[in-house]
Amino acid sequence: MKKILLSAFLLASVTAFAQDTMNDDNDQRDREEIPYNQWSLDFGIGAHHPHNLTAPGFFVNNPSFFSGDLGVRYMINDKFGINLDLGLNYFENADKEEDQSGEFQTNAYRAGLEGVVNVGTILGFREWTDTFNVLGHGGIGMTAIRFDEDINDETDWTGHFIVGITPQIKLSDNFALNLDASIVGYLSTDASLDGTREQARTDFDGFVSNYTIGLNWYLGNKEVHADWYNGSESARISELEERVATLETNNADDDQDGVPNYLDRDNTTESGVRVDNKGRALDVNKNGIPDDMESALDSRYAKKGAIASGANGVDGDGLIKQLINDGYVNVYFEFNSTKPTQYSLSSINFLATYLRDNPEVSATLTGYADEIGSEDYNKNLSERRAKMVNDILVATGVDASRLSYNGEGEDDSVEKSSSQARQLVRRVKFQVN
């Protein structure tokens, strides 16, 4: 028993020593957020058996019930921790006739401080299992022994030591099943456990063996508790690889506008369009069309005043009608969406203005989809896109009787593997007559 007591003191000392000798490691973790939870509540209930603690003629069942345990545990790191241990042992006389025990009922309430060692981490369990672990614990504390008042109305206060081992089975990120086997030794007692015999016990021949089953409830918002954290070199390499992959993804530039994805507020800007530092196309006049696209349209199709003056032998209304029917005025959509892109709203306004200025003209709206997805789905999607534009035009004041719409389904005229090309066919085009 003296060896057991020495082991308990050594275990508590190791915890204190570990806190001092791992300052460098903890300083490093202070600079980087600790990647695991450190707090837990540990519950257990079960049976026990006292050894050499009762007077002659008093016996207990083997095993006896009830034993309960509650621990509030803090892991200093993934190998060592401390635990505030609270426990209860209820002892009563054996109920078997052959034992012929005197009657008694005794409660022992204990509180103590323990050192905890994550045996599984130290021995490298994380290299071969993520569901099984072993903790070791040991420490000292105080116990209050309350006897049956009819036998002994005094409370026997005594110091105790405790040492034990706790296998664990992980149930989830928040809970683990634990099985604990511990020895509790009383440093001195004034009476036998049944309360009938006065004694001054100063040796360690008498002790209680505890066996409980319970749960570890892990507290915190991290994905893993220190009990299960894998801090091995291979795990760190894997974590670094994940970080590198994340950096590569974040720093990619899908729309090639010079702004990485993680800063880009609009990751679908057209190639060659100037953007601000958040990846949004420059649009000084706030008309929904990127400035670079607007100036290109002006230079390619018509200058200001050309329409009104009938440049190139075409009257203004005739040129507008030609532009619309030749497919230069379209409404575009994002993938699998019926909501027009922001820059396409000016095209809807363009057609609405033309229809208001030419009340005898009607328009047909034809929707299209790219080739991603089934034909039936894309047929329906293209019709819903056309209807959406139809509804917007009606909302602007265009008479619904002047509009008709339909969906043509997939437009396979562009390269299916090119996301930029597919953007061009996700559209609604106009035909005026």
Helix (H) or strand (E) holding 142: strand 132-146
DSSP label at residue 77: S
Cα(180)–Cα(83) distance, rounded to whole angstroms?
Answer: 14
| Tokens 């190639």 found at | 271
Burial 204-228 (b: 16+ CB within 10 A, else e): bebbbbbbbebbbebebebebbbbb
CA 83 to centroid of chain Cα atoms: 27
pTM of the model: 0.52
| Tokens 């045996």 found at | 119
Per-residue pLDDT at 241:
72
Residues 142, 158 contacting (CB under 8 angstroms): yes
Domain definitions of the chain by residue range: 2-230, 283-432
Burial 349-377 (b: 16+ CB within 10 A, else e): ebbbebbeeeeebbbbbbbbbbbeeeeee
Per-residue pLDDT at 27:
47
Per-residue pLDDT at 96:
73
pLDDT in tens, the chain (433 residues): 444 444 444 444 444 444 444 444 444 444 457 889 999 999 999 999 998 888 888 999 888 989 999 999 999 999 999 999 999 999 999 987 666 888 999 999 999 999 999 999 999 998 899 999 999 999 999 999 999 988 888 899 999 999 999 999 999 999 999 999 999 999 888 888 898 888 655 555 689 999 999 999 999 999 999 999 987 655 566 666 777 777 777 777 766 666 777 677 776 666 556 777 777 777 776 655 666 655 544 444 444 444 444 444 445 567 788 889 888 889 999 998 998 988 888 889 889 989 998 999 999 999 999 999 899 999 999 999 999 999 999 998 999 999 999 999 999 888 888 888 888 899 999 999 8
CA 295 to centroid of chain Cα atoms: 47
Residues 135, 143 contacting (CB under 8 angstroms): no
CA-closest candidate to residue 137, choices 91, 168, 169: 168
Q: Where are the beta strands (DSSP E) in 147-253?
A: 155-170, 175-186, 189-191, 198-201, 207-219
| Partners of 138 in the β-ladder | 115, 163
Backbone angles phi, psi at 359, to 5 degrees: -65, -15
Instruction: Report the SS3 class of residue 196.
Output: coil
Q: Does domain 2-230 have CATH number 2.40.160.20?
A: yes
Per-residue pLDDT at 291:
64
* Burial zone of 271 (CB within 10 Å; 0-12 exposed, 13-18 middle, 19+ buried): exposed
Instruction: Report the SS3 class of residue 332.
Output: strand
Q: Does domain 283-432 have CATH number 3.40.50.150?
A: no
Please, which residues have CB within 8 angstroms of residue 176's CB and are 6 or more apart in sequence?
A: 133, 168, 169, 170, 215, 216, 218, 227, 228
* Burial zone of 21 (CB within 10 Å; 0-12 exposed, 13-18 middle, 19+ buried): exposed
